[in-house]
Amino acid sequence: MFDYGGKVYMKTKDLIAEALSLPVEERAIFVDSLLKSLNPLESEIDKKWASVAKRRLEELRSGEVKAIPAEEVFKKIWNRFSK
Protein backbone atom coordinates (compact mmCIF):
# COMPACT_ATOMS: atom_id res chain seq x y z
CA MET A 1 0.00 0.00 0.00
CA PHE A 2 1.08 3.55 -0.52
CA ASP A 3 -0.01 7.01 0.55
CA TYR A 4 -1.08 9.42 -2.15
CA GLY A 5 -2.31 12.80 -1.03
CA GLY A 6 -3.43 11.54 2.35
CA LYS A 7 -5.27 8.51 0.93
CA VAL A 8 -3.95 4.99 1.23
CA TYR A 9 -4.07 2.89 -1.95
CA MET A 10 -3.21 -0.71 -2.74
CA LYS A 11 -0.57 -1.43 -5.36
CA THR A 12 -2.08 -2.56 -8.63
CA LYS A 13 -0.68 -6.09 -8.39
CA ASP A 14 -2.10 -6.44 -4.85
CA LEU A 15 -5.47 -5.15 -5.99
CA ILE A 16 -5.52 -7.64 -8.86
CA ALA A 17 -4.58 -10.50 -6.54
CA GLU A 18 -7.33 -9.47 -4.12
CA ALA A 19 -9.88 -9.23 -6.95
CA LEU A 20 -8.93 -12.67 -8.27
CA SER A 21 -9.60 -14.17 -4.85
CA LEU A 22 -13.25 -13.03 -4.97
CA PRO A 23 -16.07 -15.42 -5.91
CA VAL A 24 -16.92 -15.28 -9.62
CA GLU A 25 -20.12 -13.26 -9.06
CA GLU A 26 -18.22 -10.63 -7.10
CA ARG A 27 -15.48 -10.50 -9.74
CA ALA A 28 -18.14 -9.88 -12.41
CA ILE A 29 -19.53 -6.96 -10.39
CA PHE A 30 -16.00 -5.64 -9.87
CA VAL A 31 -15.15 -5.84 -13.58
CA ASP A 32 -18.45 -4.26 -14.56
CA SER A 33 -17.76 -1.34 -12.22
CA LEU A 34 -14.26 -0.86 -13.64
CA LEU A 35 -15.51 -0.95 -17.22
CA LYS A 36 -18.25 1.56 -16.45
CA SER A 37 -15.61 3.90 -15.01
CA LEU A 38 -13.68 3.72 -18.30
CA ASN A 39 -16.71 3.99 -20.55
CA PRO A 40 -19.33 6.19 -18.86
CA LEU A 41 -22.91 5.50 -19.80
CA GLU A 42 -24.68 7.62 -22.37
CA SER A 43 -27.95 7.49 -20.55
CA GLU A 44 -30.56 7.44 -23.31
CA ILE A 45 -28.67 5.19 -25.71
CA ASP A 46 -27.59 2.81 -22.96
CA LYS A 47 -31.11 2.65 -21.51
CA LYS A 48 -32.46 1.68 -24.92
CA TRP A 49 -29.79 -1.00 -25.43
CA ALA A 50 -30.38 -2.34 -21.91
CA SER A 51 -34.10 -2.53 -22.66
CA VAL A 52 -33.47 -4.43 -25.90
CA ALA A 53 -31.04 -6.81 -24.17
CA LYS A 54 -33.49 -7.51 -21.34
CA ARG A 55 -36.31 -8.14 -23.81
CA ARG A 56 -34.18 -10.51 -25.88
CA LEU A 57 -33.04 -12.39 -22.79
CA GLU A 58 -36.63 -12.80 -21.64
CA GLU A 59 -37.61 -14.05 -25.12
CA LEU A 60 -34.86 -16.67 -24.91
CA ARG A 61 -35.73 -17.72 -21.37
CA SER A 62 -39.44 -17.97 -22.11
CA GLY A 63 -38.87 -20.05 -25.23
CA GLU A 64 -40.52 -17.41 -27.42
CA VAL A 65 -37.38 -17.45 -29.58
CA LYS A 66 -34.82 -20.17 -30.08
CA ALA A 67 -31.08 -19.62 -30.00
CA ILE A 68 -29.18 -20.72 -33.08
CA PRO A 69 -25.82 -22.41 -32.45
CA ALA A 70 -22.86 -20.28 -33.57
CA GLU A 71 -21.58 -23.08 -35.82
CA GLU A 72 -24.84 -23.01 -37.77
CA VAL A 73 -24.81 -19.22 -38.10
CA PHE A 74 -21.21 -19.15 -39.31
CA LYS A 75 -21.85 -21.98 -41.74
CA LYS A 76 -24.73 -20.02 -43.32
CA ILE A 77 -22.59 -16.89 -43.53
CA TRP A 78 -19.68 -18.84 -45.05
CA ASN A 79 -21.96 -20.48 -47.62
CA ARG A 80 -23.57 -17.19 -48.56
CA PHE A 81 -20.33 -15.29 -49.09
CA SER A 82 -18.15 -18.04 -50.55
CA LYS A 83 -20.14 -18.20 -53.78
Residue range 13-49, pLDDT digits in tens: 899 999 999 999 999 999 999 988 887 777 788 889 8
Are residues 36 and 60 part of one domain?
Answer: no
Whether the pTM exceeds 0.85: the reply is: no
- 32 and 52 inside one domain: no
2 beta partners = 9
32 shares a domain with 6? yes
Please name the residue ranges forming H helices in 1-83. Answer: 12-20, 24-38, 43-62, 70-81
Q: Please indicate, yes or no, whether residues 58 and 74 belong to a single structural domain of this protein.
A: yes
Residues 34 and 49 in one domain: no
Q: Which domain holds residue 30?
A: 1-40
The strand pair at 2-4 and 7-9 is best described as antiparallel
The single-letter code of the amino acid at 27 is R
59 residue type, one letter: E
- Cα–Cα dist 20/15, whole Å: 9
Look at 1-10, 14-23, 30-39, 69-78 and tell me which has the smallest mean pLDDT: 1-10
Distance CA 52, CA 54 (A): 6
